[in-house]
Amino acid sequence: MRARLSKGVFMRSVKWVLIAALALFGCGQKSHAVASAPAPAKAAATVNSSQPAKPPAGATLTGAWERWSTLPGGVPNYEVAEFFDNGWMILHNVAGGLNAQYTSSGSSLTITGALIALWPGVITYHIDGSRLIIDRAIMAGVTDHTEWTRVTRAPFFTNVVKDGDIVPTGVPTFTANMTAAVAKNWRADAVPLNLDVQRLPSGDFAIIGEFRSPQDGSGLRVTAGRWGYLLAAFPTVRWGDHALPNEFVDVPNLLQYMHSNGNSGPLLKASLWVWDHGPVWQVTTLEAGNQSKTLFYAADTGKPLPQGQDPQSAYIASYNAQWAAIAAATHRRGGGGVVNPFIGAGAEQGAGPNVGSDAGGGGCDYSDEAACNAAAVGDTWAADRLEEGTSTPEEQDWYSE
């Protein structure tokens, strides 16, 4: 399995840079033709497809509008308000964004849904050429006035409808562009190691690429939405050693393979990385009863990896073997045994570490209880993932007991 960045390095070295990319990767490409679709009932599947790059004719809200502002502390903030012709909108921001339904009549704009928390009050608007002016009457004598500029460039990637779900398309090409225009600009020897396609709270997607410089061991994480992206640089990373292939199964095709092999729900996350037996897609979908399901697919063919021959099974088998050896060695030294979180008690019951407590001194350096449980038994790999929120559902189950 791929190694992860330790919590200490992450907390000390992460540096976020917010970029509204105007002329970087993807902007000169021809935009894919996409369809707009009504939002499904499930919140996790609520998403709309990308708008065309060119503005619609007339003074209409439909399309994407961008705005820069400054948050408390002088932090720059970039937002895109995207209005779809089916009555849905997405406010894209650094937190992942929110979606809502909207109606407009004359100069009046009515918002319903989660976005009300960010856009309260009576809303009026007017369009002046390429500018959108929104006024919100928050209370008597208090009006919030914002100005937005219509986005005319193409999005970095587009979404398409596939098997009833809406997912990003052209991910291999997008990854190549991100590598050439962003990662190579950071380090000339940068290589892509991991790729995550992740559904956001808004129902739209982010594509997250992790790059490493073999020369100095530093890393770069690029978190890209359709209209902007974030950069996080790290002085030292342990994200693996195998570069992603140039060609791999695209997400719409992967979705088709998934639905014919046991994953029927909407896509929550797809992670591409390379293990000892080649590139693999680790796919998590939302199934009946709001239960997530994770399966593995060969990234070069799209074929599912049989149970027992996938990276997770190999990792668990190796993990159990290591714990068995530790338990045996502890028993030989006269100890009482250790706890293996995968199989319960080790050589003998009752003498394992006091998980999540200060037993043994030092306490826990993680804020997440499951991460503390993982760290207490020596699984810092899983602890880092749990702390960062990038763990698998299985790891959550193992360490949340």
For 28-87, the pLDDT digits (tens) are 333 222 222 223 223 333 334 444 334 444 568 999 999 998 888 888 889 999 999 999
Phi, psi of 288 (to 5 degrees): -60, 145
For 117-152, the pLDDT digits (tens) are 778 778 999 999 999 999 988 887 888 899 999 999
Buried b (16+ CB within 10 A) or exposed e, 88-120: bbbbbbbebbbbbebeeeeeebebebebeeebe
| Residue 89 confidence (pLDDT) | 92
| Residues near 109 by beta carbon (within 8 Å), at least 6 away in sequence | 61, 102, 103, 123, 124, 125, 134
User: How do strand 131-139 and strand 98-105 relate by DSSP bridges?
Assistant: unpaired
- Angstrom distance (rounded) from CA 98 to CA 360: 44
What the chain holds in terms of domains, given with CATH numbers, is 7-17+155-305 (no CATH), 54-150 (2.40.128.490), 320-399 (no CATH)
- Angstrom distance (rounded) from CA 265 to CA 4: 28
- Angstrom distance (rounded) from CA 379 to CA 357: 16
The tens-digit pLDDT sequence of the chain (401 residues) is: 444 433 333 333 333 333 333 333 333 333 222 222 223 223 333 334 444 334 444 568 999 999 998 888 888 889 999 999 999 999 998 777 889 999 988 899 998 887 877 787 789 999 999 999 999 888 878 888 999 999 999 999 999 988 888 899 999 999 999 999 999 999 999 999 999 999 998 889 999 999 999 999 999 999 999 998 889 999 999 998 899 999 999 999 998 888 887 677 889 999 999 987 789 999 988 887 788 888 889 999 988 887 666 666 655 666 666 666 666 655 544 444 444 444 443 333 333 333 333 333 446 878 888 888 877 766 777 788 888 888 777 677 777 76
